[in-house]
Amino acid sequence: MNSQESEINLLFFRGFWLEVGSRLHAYSKKASRNPKWFVMSVMGRFKIVRFVAKSLAKRRQIQNYHSESTASTFKHLDANPIATTLKKDGLYCGIILPKNLQQEILEFAHITCCYGDREPHLGFLYSKKEQIEKEIDRTFLTAQYFNTSLLCPAIKYLGSDPKLIEIATLYLGVKPVYTGSRLWWNFAVKDEKPYDPNKTITFFHYDLDDYACLRFFFYLTDVGCHDGPHVCVRSSHINKKTIHVFSPVKRRTDQDIINYYKSENIVTICGEAGFGFAEDTFCYHKATRPLRSDRLMLQIQFAIHDYGLHNDLKEPSLLKRII
Ligand SMILES: O=C(O)CCC(=O)C(=O)O
């Protein structure tokens, strides 16, 4: 093992124990806020439980969505084959965000504060990032916006887009709930600088946000292979190693993933600004480190329940600007 590999391993395992600690802390906090979420987060990893939970959820008249979907901004998309691909692969690539919405969201991102490393007291405008980093002697790897669905009409609109809802309905098989949006930067950091994978989630993991959950992601910047593309493991939503299902830790090393799923099922998603994809959160996935350009990404999430825990809502009085 060379020194770079041992440094990566060290960070990974440090991350492993950090995750155990932070998970226990986060679990107890979230469980006290929402005991139903706690039950789901323990039991939802089992296929049979997810199946029963979905069956119990009230089925919605899918027919309704067909008639509504003419008003969608994605009216050229056919939801049926997308849902079919999603069921097989857990991933569908090629949902293009119209230029007007891209423009509106980009503009929002430039005139609104984002928050360094997702900390609500570290607000700054994207254009001021380098200046702020020098002033406070800190390198940000990521920055997230808060309250995006409330502040940006284009993002709010996407949460109710009939075509996205139709895809979610066909895929989830039950009435979907829009659980929230997220908009964030992963910043390009030069190769020689140390990089904490925990900040940007650049390790394989899956998310258990509900018994069934679907995310739509849209790139707002061009994302080539050096700009931090998202990576997803095809079909890993329906095929997990038994030991991984029982493990309380959801993160896996790249080698674990390659050994079990094989390289050909690991999909690195590149695309121009506006490129979008849908992904089952139960798939193994990860971000990668941008080396060339910053990546701005939007997430719109649907599930069968809303636990009120998977959104970017933050009390505005808690949000502080650095300068
Ligand atoms: O930023 C990305 O590409 C991945 C994000 C992610 O893994 C997550 O939100 O769970």
Strands 177-186 and 91-93, sheet pairing? unpaired
Q: What is the mean pLDDT of the chain?
A: 90
Contact 306, 240 (CB under 8 A): no
State the pTM of this model. Answer: 0.89
- Running DSSP on this structure, what letter comes out for residue 96? P
Pocket of ligand 1 (CB under 6 A): 186, 201, 207, 230, 285-287, 297
Query: Which whole number is the average pLDDT over 231-246?
Result: 95
pLDDT tens-digit series, residues 6-37: 665 665 656 667 767 776 787 788 888 888 99
Which ligand 1 atom sits nearest the alpha carbon of residue 299? 9
Banded pLDDT at 5 (limits 50, 70, 90): low
How far is Cα 98 from Cα 103, in angstroms, rounded to an integer?
Answer: 9
Distance CA 143, CA 14 (A): 22
Q: Which residues contact 3 (CB under 8 A, 6 or more apart)?
A: none
- Return the pLDDT at 55: 85
CA–CA dist 183, 159 (Å, integer)? 13
Structure tokens at 77: 């998309």
By the 8 A CB rule, do 229 and 268 touch? yes
**Structural domains of the chain sorted by starting position, each given as residue range(s) with its CATH number in brackets:** 3-318 (2.60.120.620)
Q: What is the dihedral of CA 20, 22, 23, 25, to 10 degrees?
A: 120
| Residue 186 Cα: closest atom of ligand 1 | 1
Distance 287 CA to ligand 1 centre (A): 5
Q: How many C-beta atoms surround the C-beta of residue 190 within 10 A?
A: 9
Each residue's pLDDT tens digit, 283-323: 999 999 999 999 999 999 999 999 988 899 999 999 999 97
Percent of the chain clearing pLDDT 90 (strictly above): 72
